[in-house]
């Protein structure tokens, strides 16, 4: 069976390619990419004129909530949402119930992700750095690695004890296992729920100072420099954190980092009258942070963009602001926000933006993804994006169980319209029937 994705703009950052051409998929493999390809015996043709054809997108940071929190999301609904968002690989975070600290739980995740009802994307589990994420002792990291985790993390329970974090890095360096670091000094963030500043002062809410993030970014960068452990800094939200990372990279620390769409689009004052849809951690910051994060995205200090997909059940969100959980759903808006706010505004070129959504995250965790080159991935992973379609985001039409988002009703320009992982796993209504032709 041959499938042809025809006449799209091929954007393959893995080989710095940007040209009009086609991708030929045979069975579940990419067999040819070029300005023209061999069209004999093609049975399905997707006319991609005006669309971008990119490597399947890779999300380093998402919450699928299983096991134990299926009121928020399941691996089935989460992966369906990811596929609709253009992702073909999703790294799921370990702060579940129980935490992903044992090989059996990794097996469970992989089984569920492979079930036929799931979205068809690759799920790459991130293991818990400490047992039950209690930060008392390291989890059995070698066993976790053997079970298939691609990294380990203290997500949701940031390690405060620098001695423990140093031992974790020494161990992970030995195991060649990257650490994804949740950088938050809990003695500074306390029980805060919004960026500390004029808005927290106005509303009387306990603030989370930017230093709560920056102090831990700096510590983790220094520990990475000294241990040689690969550290991926998650969710960079302040210009100060960017400067720490820039300095650490300059000094040669094996450090990478991500930011997430809310941090380059929204600010703390948008919390308005205690709108819990704007509560996330680290909290939304200020316009200065947005400007300098955009600069850091453009100059490469920020390596990638993750969704930080954080679904919650509606009843968990309909509570006073300080009691509400942190985070937003993110799979089905990440690409649209990147297009609208970074590409169409000239912050990133299309090729660089796709690099931050596919090739770079794949490289950081050494995943076989992020490229259109034949033979480089286990199966064909391709995302088709309509860069120009103008649409309004309706969270009630999403696949995720979580409906917590600040973007409901936002107008975007651009959207992923089809996703392939092996075969087609998602095709949007915006991908017209007239563009899809089969030959019997």
Partner 1 sequence: MSVRHLLGVRRLDTIQIQELIEVSAEFRRRMKAGEALPQFPGKVAGLLFFEGSTRTRVSFERAAFALGIQVTNFTGQGSSMAKGETLRDTILTLRQELLDTIVVRHPSCGSPQLVADFFRRPVINAGDGEHEHPTQALGDALTILLRKGRIQGLTVAIVGDVMHSRVARSNAWLLSKLGAKVRFVGPNTLLPSNCALLPGEPYFKLSEGLEGADVVMCLRLQKERMAQGLLSSIGEYRRLYQVNERTLRPAAKDVIVMHPGPINRGVELDDATADGPRSVILDQVESAVYTRAAVLFWALGGDPDAVLDGATSVFEEAEA
Q: How far is CA 182 from the centre of its chain?
A: 14
* Cα–Cα nearest to 392, from 332, 313, 440, 314: 332
323 is a site residue for partner 1 (CB under 8 A):
yes
Contact pick of 104, 163, 191, 204 for partner 1 (by CB under 8 A) = 204
Active-site amino acid positions: 308
Contact pick of 7, 89, 200, 259 for partner 1 (by CB under 8 A) = 200
Contact pick of 201, 226, 287, 392 for partner 1 (by CB under 8 A) = 201
> 103-114 vs 75-84: helix axis angle to the nearest 10?
60
Contact pick of 17, 143, 164, 203 for partner 1 (by CB under 8 A) = 203
* Smaller CB separation from partner 1, 114 or 318: 318
* Smaller CB separation from partner 1, 73 or 196: 196
* Cα–Cα nearest to 327, from 95, 100, 154, 109: 95
Q: How far apart are CA 434 and CA 414, in angstroms?
A: 20
Q: Mask: binding to partner 1, 248-277, rule CB under 8 A, as x and -? A: -------------------------xx---
* Cα–Cα nearest to 309, from 283, 326, 330: 330
287 is a site residue for partner 1 (CB under 8 A):
no
Compute the least distance from the CB of residue 330 to partner 1, in Å: 24
Question: What is the size of the binding site for partner 1 (CB under 8 A)?
Answer: 21
199 is a site residue for partner 1 (CB under 8 A):
yes
Looking at residue 326, the DSSP 8-state letter turns out to be P
Query: Are 235 and 61 a contacting pair, CB within 8 Å?
Result: yes
* Smaller CB separation from partner 1, 298 or 317: 317
* Cα–Cα nearest to 153, from 62, 53, 23: 62
Query: Are 284 and 195 a contacting pair, CB within 8 Å?
Result: yes
Compute the least distance from the CB of residue 273 to partner 1, in Å: 6
Compute the least distance from the CB of residue 257 to partner 1, in Å: 27
Query: Are 95 and 102 a contacting pair, CB within 8 Å?
Result: no
Contact pick of 114, 288, 319, 430 for partner 1 (by CB under 8 A) = 319
**What per-residue string of b and e applies to 187-211 under the rule 16 or more CB within 10 Å gives b?**
ebbeebbbbbbebbeebebebbbbb
Q: Mask: binding to partner 1, 288-317, rule CB under 8 A, as x and -? A: ---------------------------x--
Chain contacts with partner 1 (rule: CB under 8 A): 196-205, 207, 209, 273-274, 315, 318-323
């Amino acid at each position: 069976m041959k499938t042809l994705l025809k006449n799209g703009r091929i954007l393959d950052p893995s080989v710095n390619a940007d040209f009009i051409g086609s991708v030929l998929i045979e069975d579940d493999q990419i067999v040819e990419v070029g300005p023209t390809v061999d069209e004999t015996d093609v049975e399905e043709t997707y006319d991609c004129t005006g669309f971008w054809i990119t490597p399947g997108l890779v999300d380093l940071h998402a919450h699928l909530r299983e096991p134990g929190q299926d009121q928020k999301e399941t691996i089935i609904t989460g992966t369906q949402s990811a596929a609709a968002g253009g992702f073909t690989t999703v790294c799921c975070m370990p702060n579940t119930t129980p935490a992903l600290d044992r090989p059996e739980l990794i097996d469970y995740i992989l089984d569920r992700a492979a079930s036929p009802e799931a979205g068809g994307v690759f799920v790459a589990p991130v293991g818990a750095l400490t047992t039950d994420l209690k930060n008392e002792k390291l989890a059995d990291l070698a066993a976790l690695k053997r079970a298939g985790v691609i990294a380990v993390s203290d997500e949701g329970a940031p390690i405060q004890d620098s001695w423990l974090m140093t031992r974790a890095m020494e161990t992970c360096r030995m195991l060649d296992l990257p650490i994804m670091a949740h950088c938050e000094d809990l003695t500074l963030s306390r029980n805060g729920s919004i960026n500390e500043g004029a808005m927290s002062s106005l509303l009387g809410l306990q603030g989370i100072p930017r230093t709560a993030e920056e102090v831990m970014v700096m510590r983790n960068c220094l520990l990475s420099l000294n241990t040689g452990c690969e550290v991926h800094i998650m969710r960079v939200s302040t210009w100060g954190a960017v400067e720490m990372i820039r300095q650490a990279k300059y000094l040669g620390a094996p450090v990478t980092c991500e930011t997430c769409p809310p941090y380059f689009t929204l600010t703390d004052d948008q919390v308005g009258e205690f709108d819990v849809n704007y509560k996330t951690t680290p909290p939304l910051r200020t316009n200065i942070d947005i400007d300098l994060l955009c600069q850091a995205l453009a100059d490469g200090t920020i390596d990638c963009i993750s969704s930080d997909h954080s679904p919650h059940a509606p009843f968990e969100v309909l509570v006073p602001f300080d009691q509400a959980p942190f985070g937003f759903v993110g799979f089905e808006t990440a690409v649209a926000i990147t297009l609208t706010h970074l590409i169409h505004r000239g912050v990133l070129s299309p090729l660089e933006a796709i690099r931050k959504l596919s090739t770079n995250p794949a490289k950081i965790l050494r995943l076989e993804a992020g490229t259109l080159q034949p033979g480089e991935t286990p199966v064909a992973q391709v995302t088709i994006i309509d860069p120009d379609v103008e649409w309004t985001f309706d969270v009630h039409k999403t696949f995720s169980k979580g409906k917590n988002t600040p973007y409901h009703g936002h107008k975007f320009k651009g959207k992923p319209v089809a996703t392939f992982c092996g075969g087609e796993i998602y095709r949007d209504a915006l991908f017209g029937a007239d563009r899809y032709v089969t030959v019997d």
